Chain A
């Protein structure tokens, strides 16, 4: 089990890590989610031992890792840009960690074959790095990290350099693969879809701190902080006044900051709406998203722009009314914005 306590790293006047606490249970997959520059890669480097901590501790199964150099930690780290050894072929790249473990050559080639099969690159042993496509290089890097069977596998934006369709395909593969081999994983990404798909728990990082940690569903339904809510793609953050007052009417929630998920709206035809938990307005923008439309609704009174998910078609200029499901409204702590 990995335990990080009070990890702090400063680069000049910038606090890259600001008292980070984190626990990853054995066999668990935890995703670190955050915008670029939030300190998530620094956290990985600190755990790997590549980045010394200004203060704080990193433990594995209760053992303090402070004195243990990088190469003796028995952790795997896959870099965003892969960092493959361009002067070696695929097999030699994958076998590198095994050679460091002094595994004999027969054992190495067996393990290389096994791991390459695992990542879907069977028979790639003698390919040179220069001839690999982006997706193949990514798999080789993953195979190289997996081969020595590290007790902790860290992935730094492993799919970052791929185009969208490859990314989605490989996210799914990665999810299945990590489950199958049951390895403990710390996975860094800026993409919440990827984090939600792969991880048991997600830690959302904001400027060097972990703002929110929990299962993907917990975090999505209850982001708690406005910044986290916005990062997850929740557009409708509103200030609720006394008695549930909002600019266009009233919500049946207590006062404070709240987030209205875009799937909280169901369309009502015909009669004008005048009750609590309803909204009426004009569509200012409509985007077709396959199984749904994403609408920007300007509320009649108040002129607030809301993002609404609607399975039924709509066009710019339509006047529409919706009922809002209070169960899909999450309260936010107002301490951060």
Chain B
């Protein structure tokens, strides 16, 4: 009698897994497969790939991609580690706000960051003349540190705060100096976290697109920007696909390393998080906050200043903002229309990302308890899009979505689907850790008190994950607003002109008037993104306290 019920329940339980799998296969695996097929294509097997790897110019692009990512990672860790220490071990007024503000750069659209650095160089005379940072590797490195600072600050900082501070006190009592404590007690326990975070930062820097394309200019190319140039500018899809295969292989290797480091980190993660002993504030804190303000605050402050500058005449004006409503010959529609389009795409994209990502999180979680192979496969399958660059996805869409079974390349819905795809890993990565903090005893307690399984999920898991849902939605929304890599491959039409695309075109065109308008558009995009993330973060907080 129990058997049929169990079968039905099993099918219902498998539904989210099936839906997630279908979506990922259709819009992720299939396009990627298309890229690989094209990349290996040509007259002889691996002929095209061999040609690409054999070419000196391609090899130097690959080499540059690898080393700039390494230097970016090292710089980011060096700059952000002291700040992580301050966040973990000091208690000061405004700490939560600082942490939230430090996160803003990470969620900013890449094109906005590029615009900010372009503005910074122009403002301080670093874009020509004696010192030129424009279109140099320095510009790229600076932007990567700016971007990934929050990644190190938040992940390493959180891990650090979880380390039992009493162990350090114990070491001090036993006669270790401050430096000895750091070297012998803190660092060994922190190292797995630093390694795992570095792997992620390396991955982000390796696959960084918008920043490199704009700040590196034509002189500095990574695999990512080369794929774009070959596919979109030179219309040489074969070479683009071959480069994408190289990129894909590197990313899969990096994701594997990152996942392995992540697992190692997870195993040494302390089970409980004892309250850290509050430490004295000191010059260290002031130095940290100054560095943070300089690295994170200055580019954004200058961006705002530039957007209000009146050009050669000097003084300030809102002319750049009002100009956004006017047509420029360069764009198929006004900048304001592009902003409107972006907002219209972000809503369905965030909803879709939340739906697929939420279901995926449940699948990952369920596989936790069963230790199923499927879960491990899902975990990797869902981390891959985080690493597989948006550009590769864009190229894949370009290659396969123009014929049955899915002929949607020219349809508007391709935009939110691409955006959702880029946002899903963020949703999963926000939700899963939060759901994992749910005490399994609490679930059992609810069941004993009479809650059926579905009710347990709603009453216990969802309540605790509510904040994760909100934060994930905010992330997905922000990701969609700023998405540039995949969108740049979508055929250009007025309806699919998004704000980052418009910004890219405005930035690429000389002339003060358009540059001013670009800065105004960048500020608008920055404000929208920051508001989305902030509001969802606050809403999540409010929900947590409520019944």
Interface residues of chain A, those whose CB is within 8 Å of chain B, are 48, 50, 67, 69-77, 79, 81, 83-89, 92, 96-97, 100-101, 144-145, 148
Q: Residues of B contacting A101 with CB < 8 Å? A: 450
Q: Residues of B contacting A97 with CB < 8 Å? A: 449-450
Binds A, one of B238-246, B437-445, B490-498, B521-529: B437-445
Q: Which of B444, B464, B547 contacts A83 (CB 8 A)?
A: B444
What residue of chain A has the Cβ atom nearest to residue B442's Cβ?
A83
Q: Which of A50, A84, A86, A144 contacts B447 (CB 8 A)?
A: A50
Binds A, one of B128-136, B215-223, B451-459: B451-459
User: What's the minimum C-beta distance from A125 to chain B, rounded to whole angstroms?
Assistant: 12
Knowing A75-B448, A87-B463, say if A81 contacts B441 (CB, 8 Å). Answer: yes
Cβ contact within 8 Å between B544 and A67: no
Q: Residues of A contacting B449 with CB < 8 Å? A: 71, 76, 96-97, 100, 144-145, 148
Cβ contact within 8 Å between A92 and B547: yes
User: What's the minimum C-beta distance from B1 to chain A, rounded to whole angstroms?
Assistant: 7
Knowing A85-B442, A89-B547, A100-B455, say if A70 contacts B447 (CB, 8 Å). Answer: yes
Q: Residues of B contacting A83 with CB < 8 Å? A: 439, 441-442, 444-445
Q: Residues of A contacting B455 with CB < 8 Å? A: 71, 100
- Further contacts, 16 of them, CB under 8 A, given A50-B444, A50-B447, A85-B446: A71-B447, A71-B452, A71-B453, A73-B448, A77-B448, A83-B441, A84-B445, A85-B442, A85-B463, A86-B442, A87-B464, A88-B463, A100-B449, A100-B450, A100-B451, A100-B455
Separation of A117 and B459 alpha carbons in the complex (Å): 26
Q: Which of A73, A74, A79, A87 contacts B445 (CB 8 A)?
A: A79
| 27 residue pairs from A and B, CB less than 8 Å apart | A48-B444, A67-B1, A69-B452, A70-B444, A70-B447, A71-B447, A71-B449, A71-B451, A71-B456, A76-B449, A77-B444, A77-B445, A79-B441, A79-B444, A83-B439, A84-B445, A85-B442, A85-B445, A85-B446, A85-B460, A86-B442, A87-B464, A96-B446, A96-B449, A96-B451, A100-B449, A148-B449
Q: Residues of B contacting A81 with CB < 8 Å? A: 441
For window 456-501 of chain B, which residues contact chain A by CB distance below 8 Å?
A: 456, 459-460, 463-464
What residue of chain B has the Cβ atom nearest to residue A77's Cβ?
B448
Knowing A67-B2, A83-B444, say if A72 contacts B450 (CB, 8 Å). Answer: yes
Separation of A120 and B149 alpha carbons in the complex (Å): 51
What residue of chain B has the Cβ atom nearest to residue A96's Cβ?
B449
Separation of A41 and B251 alpha carbons in the complex (Å): 47
User: What's the minimum C-beta distance from B438 to chain A, rounded to whole angstroms?
Assistant: 10
What number of residue pairs across chains A and B have CB atoms under 8 A from each other? 70
Separation of A101 and B446 alpha carbons in the complex (Å): 12
User: What's the minimum C-beta distance from A157 to chain B, rounded to whole angstroms?
Assistant: 13
Separation of A83 and B460 alpha carbons in the complex (Å): 11
Cβ contact within 8 Å between B459 and A48: no
User: What's the minimum C-beta distance from B442 to chain A, rounded to whole angstroms?
Assistant: 5
Cβ contact within 8 Å between B544 and A48: no
Separation of A87 and B460 alpha carbons in the complex (Å): 9
Separation of A97 and B446 alpha carbons in the complex (Å): 8
Separation of A88 and B462 alpha carbons in the complex (Å): 13
Separation of A283 and B380 alpha carbons in the complex (Å): 69
Q: Which of B439, B444, B459, B464 contacts A96 (CB 8 A)?
A: B459
Q: Residues of B contacting A145 with CB < 8 Å? A: 449
Q: Residues of A contacting B444 with CB < 8 Å? A: 48, 50, 70, 77, 79, 83
Cβ contact within 8 Å between B459 and A76: no
Mask: chain B, 1-41; 1 = CB below 8 Å from A; 0 = not: 11000000000000000000000000000000000000000
Separation of A71 and B441 alpha carbons in the complex (Å): 14
Q: Residues of A contacting B451 with CB < 8 Å? A: 71, 96, 100
Separation of A23 and B103 alpha carbons in the complex (Å): 60
For window 257-312 of chain B, which residues contact chain A by CB distance below 8 Å?
A: none
Cβ contact within 8 Å between B448 and A50: yes
Residue with the highest number of chain B CB atoms closer than 10 Å, among A75, A83, A84, A97: A83
Q: Residues of A contacting B460 with CB < 8 Å? A: 85
Cβ contact within 8 Å between B544 and A87: yes
Residue with the highest number of chain A CB atoms closer than 10 Å, among B439, B449, B460, B464: B449
Cβ contact within 8 Å between A71 and B547: no
Q: Residues of B contacting A77 with CB < 8 Å? A: 444-445, 448
Q: Residues of A contacting B446 with CB < 8 Å? A: 85, 96
Q: Residues of A contacting B463 with CB < 8 Å? A: 85, 87-88
User: What's the minimum C-beta distance from A116 to chain B, rounded to whole angstroms?
Assistant: 16
User: What's the minimum C-beta distance from A145 to chain B, rounded to whole angstroms?
Assistant: 8
